[in-house]
Amino acid sequence: MNPTEQNLLLLAKKINPNFCRVEKLQQSGSNRQYFRIFAENSTIIGVFNHDVKENSAFFSFTNFFLSQKINVPKVIAIDETQQYYLLEDLGDETLFSLLSKNRNEEKIEKSVVALYKKTLQQLPLLQLSGKKGLDFSVCYPRSAFDKQSMLWDLNYFKYYFLKLVKIPFDEQLLEDDFHRFIDFLLEADHDYFMFRDFQSRNIMICNDEPYFIDYQGGRKGALQYDVASLLYDGKADLPPELREELLQYYLEQLSTQICINKELFCKYYHGFVLIRILQALGTYGFRGYYEKKSHFLLSIPFAVKNLNYLLPKLDFSAQIPTLINVIQKICESDFVTACALPENTLTVTVTSFSYKKGIPQDMTSNGGGFVFDCRALPNPGRLPEYKNATGKEQNVIEYLEKHSEAQHFKELTTQLVLQSVENYLERKFSHLMVNFGCTGGQHRSVYFSEKLAEKLKKAYPQINVVLVHKNQLFVQQN
């Protein structure tokens, strides 16, 4: 038992001497450590967090929410350092875990939709506590989601996502757009409690009721942010129709508490959806690319899918042209496919590219793979009849298959890759990248990448094969 576990067990024994065992729980994105502490017939949750100011915010908010009959866990004990504390155990079921178990692609069970609605019934009570005496002076690290907070989030997105995935942009023009975007968002009424991370993993389900956790980063802010966070929660991947239904349900519930202008609310809503997604991408980039925690990369494709859906809904896009251009580049980038990597499965990413554009970057932090140069092979692109065709079309396929050197190249490269796949499967590796390059990335590289992907899918149905063509003539992802 390590010192942290010992300290929590000692604190627990002051409450009940029968507590005897400590089990560490999976850590989330924060630095807080969570443990389950066992007695014969009961359990509690132990928490260690060295950040005393953050803990003080959590204790203050919890006491206030409990006084308002809002579902949050009770604080059972706090040690004298305020770094160790004990909480009521709400179990292991979250809204996200229930959603994951009770859906068939776009179809989500009614029981889960009902829990979302119960959550949205309580959300206004939580948000309106800011009008009922909640002490915002304890907020940490900042008392309001103000211009400074928004700039932090947008720069987090810029430095830990855009730059790390090499999306080009004009630094000054993007910064100017950030300020215009923030000025627009600050027009919304922001005198409410903003949970800050109101997503499905922070909603525990206990006795068929939602309970809220991890609100220590809460601060004063706009109503739109939290409902945007829940409905555009990346990996939850709610269907668009359900999002709209739940948004209307939330507005109905909010209207029972305060008088609101729904049209005005919706004017700013999509802006808060956007800043929330950009903040999330910054987190995924920092945790995934910078800290090399690859499971964070799995959320990126969902965030980009949300951006694709959101773009046509941004009525203020003309005010932020550089930011919109950056978002469009993200949505068009093929790195997203390479990030959609199922856990515990070997993923082979097969890419065709043009040497004029450079060798594709490995976005999985795995350190590369194969790069096969097709430029020494017969080039159909030099002939007029093939100039506008691609390596996916029958006339180009027939041209390359009648040349023995091209077929010999295909056999040798396929043999090399299959040998690695066999080895990677035995060693339980998760990623392999294979790149075929030619002059324009249109004919030869496309043909060989298509043929290899086809071979891999037939030979190894248990692996995930991702096929990416860098040339803009193609649909980016297959």
- Residues 316-329 have pLDDT tens digits of 999 999 999 999 99
Cα–Cα distance measured from residue 445 to residue 471, given in angstroms and rounded to the nearest whole number: 10
Q: Tell me the one-letter amino acid at 269.
A: Y
**Which pLDDT does position 363 carry in this prediction?**
63
Joined tokens for residue 120:
């949205």
Is pLDDT above 70 for 344?
no
Q: What pLDDT, on the 0 to 100 scale, is given for residue 343? A: 54
pLDDT at 295 over 80: no
Pairing of strands 103-104, 107-108: antiparallel
Which pLDDT band, with edges at 50, 70 and 90, does 474 fall under?
Answer: low
pLDDT in tens, 164-223: 888 899 999 999 999 999 999 999 999 999 999 999 999 999 999 999 999 999 999 999
Distance between CA atoms of 198 and 66, rounded to whole angstroms?
18
Question: What pLDDT score was predicted for residue 36?
Answer: 97
The pLDDT of residue 127 is above 90: yes
Q: Which pLDDT score, from 0 to 100, does residue 336 have? A: 63
Q: Is 73 exposed, middle or buried (0-12, 13-18, 19+ CB in 10 A)?
A: buried
Return d(Cα 377, Cα 406) in angstroms, integer. Answer: 6
Domains of the chain: 3-88 (3.30.200.20), 95-333 (3.90.1200.10), 338-469 (no CATH)
pLDDT class for 367, splitting at 50, 70, 90? low
The model's confidence at residue 341, banded by pLDDT at 50, 70 and 90, is low
Q: Provide long-range contacts, Cβ within 8 A and 24+ apart, for 452-457.
A: 452/350, 452/410, 452/413, 452/414, 452/417, 453/350, 453/478, 455/414, 455/418, 456/348, 456/350, 456/417, 456/418, 456/421
| pLDDT of 333 higher than 90 | no
CA distance 175 to 152: 12
* pLDDT tier for residue 30 given thresholds of 50, 70 and 90: confident
Cα–Cα distance between 430 and 451 in angstroms, integer? 22
Question: Model confidence over 370-418: pLDDT tens digits?
Answer: 999 999 999 999 999 998 899 999 999 999 999 999 999 999 999 999 9
Give the pLDDT score at 297. Answer: 79
Beta bridge partners of 351: 435, 468
Q: Is the pLDDT of residue 47 over 90?
A: yes
* Residue 58 in tokens: 């959590």
Provide the pLDDT confidence category of residue 105 given band limits of 50, 70 and 90.
Answer: confident
- Residues of the chain above pLDDT 70, percent: 94
Residue 8 contacts residue 84 (beta carbons within 8 Å): yes
Q: Residue 477 has what pLDDT?
A: 36
What pLDDT does residue 334 have? 65
pLDDT (tens digit, 9 = 90+) per residue, 257-292?
A: 999 999 999 999 999 999 999 999 999 988 887 787
Token pair in block for residue 285: 């980039």
Mean pLDDT of 446-461: 92
Q: Say how far apart CA 3 and CA 18 lie, in whole Å.
A: 19
Q: How far apart are the first and last CA of the chain?
A: 49
**pLDDT value for 476:** 37
Contact at 8 Å (CB) between 96 and 236?
Answer: yes
CB of 62 closer than 8 Å to CB of 27: no
Average per-residue pLDDT for the chain = 91
Q: Of 20-24, 161-165, 315-319, 462-466, which range is least confident?
A: 462-466
Q: What is the pLDDT of residue 366?
A: 66
- 431 has pLDDT over 90: no
Say what percent of the chain tops pLDDT 90.
76
Q: What is the dihedral of CA 125, 128, 131, 133, to 10 degrees?
A: 40
- Nearest partner of 54 among 182, 142, 126, judged by Cα: 142
Is the separation of the CB atoms in 275 and 312 below 8 Å? no
Average pLDDT over residues 437-445: 94
Neighbours of 190 (CB within 10 A): 20
- For residue 399, what pLDDT is reported? 95
